[in-house]
Amino acid sequence: MKLYRPTEECGIFGVYGHPEAANLTYLGLYALQHRGQESCGIVSSDGRSLHAHKSMGLVADVFGDQEIFRKLPGRSAIGHVRYSTTGDSVIKNVQPIMVDYSRGSIAVAHNGNLVNAQTVKDELEAWGSIFQTTMDTEVLLHLLATSKQNSLEDRIAEALGRVKGAYCLLFLTETRMIAARDPQGFRPLCLGKLGEGWVVASESCALDLIEAEFIREIEPGEIVVITKDGVTSHFPLAKSEPAPCIFEFVYFARPDSYIFGKNVYMVRKEFGRQLAREHRVDADIVIPVPDSGVPAALGYAQESGLPFELGLIRNHYIGRTFIEPQQSIRHFGVKIKLNPVRDILKGKRVVVIDDSIVRGTTSRKIVKMVRNAGAKEVHVRISSPPTSYPCYYGIDTPTRKELISSSHTIDEIRRYITADTLGYLSEEGLLEAVGTGTNPYCKACFSGGYPIRFPKLGSEPQLDLF
């Protein structure tokens, strides 16, 4: 059984102009491992050619042999950690993708999802293109190869003008690194400095690990070109209303990261405070579902005046997914990840804080676990609104019929998970806690209001919504 959480597609990291580029990229990917655990890869440039190493597995396993870095020479490198949302989980889909074409060699790493990739792919195949992977990212390389524009920057801009959806991209050639972010700015991307070199990362926590200086976030719709002459910025794409993903704050980003102009930890803590204002309850203690529920639980405890306790302890030596070897022990799924502290929970009225409820099966088992540990009452509080719609911008979520809040009322969900009470943070409270100001967010997973028009259906993707 898979303990289901929405899963981020991937993370990207790049270094330009540093003698330890591949080693630093390895460390950057290590810091971004939470954004993808299926596969990873690094492509480096020595100024004359590109070199690659990639495989299925975690960063520490794929790059565990120091000899690998001897095969990744040069002062520039880009890397990728992946969880597949578009394309199969197989070796041919491991990024970065590297190709040779008429203008030289190029590699690309992509975080996001192109919603019209199939339409563009069909057009390219009609003109003779042959695809080697099942990923949407490969579409961009074919568009680059067939472009008549002279400069690489113009070819990239033309290619991005043909696609729609969420993308943070890193391109690497023999002599330059180029970063790009979609006009809506769905996913985070930042620029850093390390000595004379430059760094690009999905999250600022990766800059912290290698002691790079955070310079700024790459803007929505911006293309950043990094060469030996420095950094230049371009905005060739049609402007659009920004729509950064609010679920990055709820769950995906590491709490020590700085994204969309804010610290993730502080935002999550404010979610908890706002949740306490909206759904206060008479109780004895507040406990988080670790690890993502910890900041919100701290905020809830501080706002409500209740003691914060670690009533559930997480086993950190397994990945985000766990498949039991036999059907007969499938019910141990939650226990593999979490174990209750009975002396803390026994006889207590407990508020359990989690970031979201997806299918409801995991929440049901957690509530049962807390009760079995002796809790007198179990009150579940969720630091986001009900997740009722799937995401098509680079997050692996179930179809709508599998999302419990799409077809059940809050009280029906409460009865299913067997909690005494259940309270979700309101959409208004979520936005107030973020402090949106004039900056809107994509909250399609809560509201169903998708910021990008999809092919064929106009307002919604032609996918299984019901």
Indicate if 245 belongs to the active site.
no
CA distances from 178 to 175, 206, 334, 408 (A): 10, 18, 42, 46
Name the pairing type of β-strands 349-354 and 377-382.
parallel
Q: Which of 10, 391, 442, 445 is flagged as catalytic?
A: 10
Take residue 96 and report the two structure tokens written for it: 């970065």
Between CA 61 and CA 207 the distance in angstroms is 22
Which pairs from 401-404 meet CB under 8 Å and 24+ separation? 401/464, 401/466, 402/359, 403/358, 403/359, 404/357, 404/358, 404/359, 404/360
CA distances from 136 to 112, 244, 252 (A): 9, 21, 22
Between CA 180 and CA 223 the distance in angstroms is 4
Residue 35's nearest CA partner among 55, 16, 7, 62 is 7
CA distances from 393 to 48, 184, 444 (A): 35, 11, 10
Between CA 309 and CA 306 the distance in angstroms is 10
Please spell the DSSP secondary structure of 267-293, one letter per residue. Answer: HHHHHHHHHHHHS----SEEEE-TTTT
Name the pairing type of β-strands 10-16 and 223-227.
unpaired
Beta-bridged to residue 320, according to DSSP, are none
Which pairs from 401-407 meet CB under 8 Å and 24+ separation? 401/464, 401/466, 402/359, 403/358, 403/359, 404/357, 404/358, 404/359, 404/360, 405/357
The amino acid at 433: A
Residue 87's nearest CA partner among 121, 53, 60, 54 is 121
Tell me which residues are annotated as active site.
10
